[in-house]
Amino acid sequence: MKIKLHDKYFTPFVSAKEIDVALDKMAAKMADDLGDEIPVFIGVLNGSFMMVSDFVKKYPKPCEVSFVKLASYEGVESTEDIQHLIGLSEDVSGRTVVILEDIIDTGNTLESIYDIFGGKGTKDLRIATLFHKPEAYRKDLKIDYIGIEIPNKFIVGYGLDYNGLGRDLPEVYQIKNTQHMTNIVLFGKPGAGKGTQAEFLKTKYNLVHISTGDVFRFNMKNDTELGKLAKSFIHEGQLVPDSVTIDMLQAEVEKNTDANGFIFDGFPRTAAQAKALDVFLESKNMELSGTVALEANDEVLIERLLERGKVSGRADDQDETKIRNRFDEYNEKTAPLIDFYTTQEKFHSVNGIGSIADITGRLSAVIDLLNVKA
């Protein structure tokens, strides 16, 4: 589950179990390397407190444990960043010292600590870290023991914090860098008014409107391969196969990568499409803000569609059997998505009966609320 710390969201990244396994391995390897030496483990606060606590419990031989903290001198009028250690009371001369870090990224902190210990006459000075970011590391210092290598992402948990929060978490989370977009799915049976409302909403919120039905119709009109493929399904009031529709939707999103957000109208219509949409958006650092269903009863919708069919000439709007078939498709394949999005706390519905302006007002109220929460 995603968590929120201050203003940012984080998603699970390294489990408590994976941490445990990594520490087991490090402890075993180190014990092997150090033989009968009794090491002095030096944890670097604040971040390392959890790691040190768990690590020393796993270390199978006698050891000493101490903590240091790196601090800049205060009140010194110097532009140089002079750092010193707080907390080291032990005499470490002639001893085997292992610096225990929770994470090493650029290596700046590590280098300062290593330099300070370098002047203390240790017999052997080693470095161990639970997490290491090879892409961020800028130093030549050899790191003797690495638990888990991670990409250059901001992480919290297991001692690591974001502005003070998150140190207490037993597992590690990574920051979720989703873009600030308004991405809305408009649900509703054929005739519910999705297309009409999308036209108003796209102007009001400066969004790109993607109607999969419109894209199919455009392709049919231009007799493209995609159009030929979709034609038979659409004319019978059946859904076009998922693989075709999903690829097409993704291509439409890719064409508008600098958009403020999207209104998805008529997509997703199946569970497979909904899952594919989540995966695809995540790969783009995007996510759905929410989904809104326009509710109206079947008899009202049939009347509306038959009227529309007279004007638009859409074959699938002129035949009541085909219309009912589209409703059946909706009930069978699309309605289950209500549960899917309710679980994600992303499902909303509004009354789709009334004047166009009233319905736009109802939809806007939902979207405004989603934008406030984002």
Active site residues: 194, 269, 308, 314, 326
β-strand 347-351 against 172-175: which pairing, if any? unpaired
* Closer by beta carbon to ligand AMP, 47 or else 190: 190
- Cβ burial, residue 103 (10 Å; 0-12/13-18/19+): buried
Residue listed under structure tokens 């569970």: 271
Count the Cβ atoms, other than its own, within 10 Å of residue 4.
10
For ligand AMP, give the closer residue by CB, 48 or 183.
Answer: 183
For residues 107 and 213, which CB has a smaller minimum distance to ligand AMP in the complex? 213
SS3 45: strand
Nearest approach in angstroms of CB 134 to ligand AMP is 42
Of the residues 166, 193, 266, 290, which one makes contact with ligand AMP according to CB under 6 A: 266
- Count the residues of the shown chain that bind ligand AMP, applying the rule CB under 6 A: 17
Q: Residue 174: which region, alpha, beta or left (left: phi > 0; alpha: psi -120 to 50)?
A: beta
- Nearer to ligand AMP by Cβ, of 182 and 211: the residue is 211
Give CB contacts under 8 A, 24+ apart, made by 21-24. Answer: 22/130, 22/147, 22/148, 23/51, 23/54, 23/55, 23/58, 23/130, 23/147, 24/58
Interface characters, 316-355, with ligand AMP (x: CB under 6 A): x---------x-----------------------------
Binding of ligand AMP by 245 (CB under 6 A): yes
199-228 binders of ligand AMP (CB under 6 A): 212-213, 216
| DSSP per position, 191-245 | TSSHHHHHHHHHHHHT-EEEEHHHHHHHHHHTT-HHHHHHHHHHHTTPPPPHHHH
Candidate ranges 32-40, 152-160, 266-274, 288-296; the one touching ligand AMP (CB under 6 A): 266-274
Position among 267, 330, 341, 347 found at the interface with ligand AMP (CB under 6 A) = 267
Of 5-13, 139-147, 197-205, 262-270, the segment contacting ligand AMP by CB under 6 A is 262-270
99 versus 185: smaller Cβ distance to ligand AMP? 185
97 in Cβ contact with 121 (< 8 Å): no
Tokens of 122: 């240790």
Closest separation in Å from C-beta 256 to ligand AMP: 18
Q: Do 354 and 169 touch, CB atoms closer than 8 A?
A: no
Q: Measured from the CB of residue 188, what is the shortest distance to ligand AMP in angstroms?
A: 9
Beta carbon nearer to ligand AMP, 167 or 231:
231
Q: Residues 154, 1: contact at Cβ < 8 Å?
A: no
193 scored as a contact of ligand AMP (CB under 6 A): no
| Contact window for ligand AMP (CB under 6 A) among 6-14, 167-175, 231-239, 355-363 | 231-239
Q: 216 or 347, CB closer to ligand AMP?
A: 216
Asked if residue 269 binds ligand AMP (CB under 6 A), the reply is yes
- The answer to whether 294 contacts ligand AMP (rule: CB under 6 A) is no
Query: What residues contact residue 203 under an 8 Å CB cut-off, 6+ apart?
Result: none
Tokens of 224: 């493209």
Establish if 273 lies at the interface with ligand AMP (CB under 6 A): yes
Rounded Cα distance, 3 and 174, in Å: 10
Minimum CB separation from ligand AMP for residue 275, in Å? 13
Helix segments in 76-167, DSSP class H: 108-118
Q: How far is the CB of 288 from ligand AMP (least distance, A)?
A: 15
Subset of 25-64 contacting ligand AMP (CB under 6 A):
none
What length does the chain have?
Answer: 374
**Structure tokens that stand for 140 in this block:** 């030549």
Q: Contacting ligand AMP (CB under 6 A), which of 205, 233, 327, 340? A: 233
Q: Which is nearer to ligand AMP, 182 or 212 (CB)?
A: 212
Write out the residues near ligand AMP by the rule CB under 6 A: 190, 212-213, 216, 233-234, 237-240, 245, 266-267, 269, 273, 316, 326
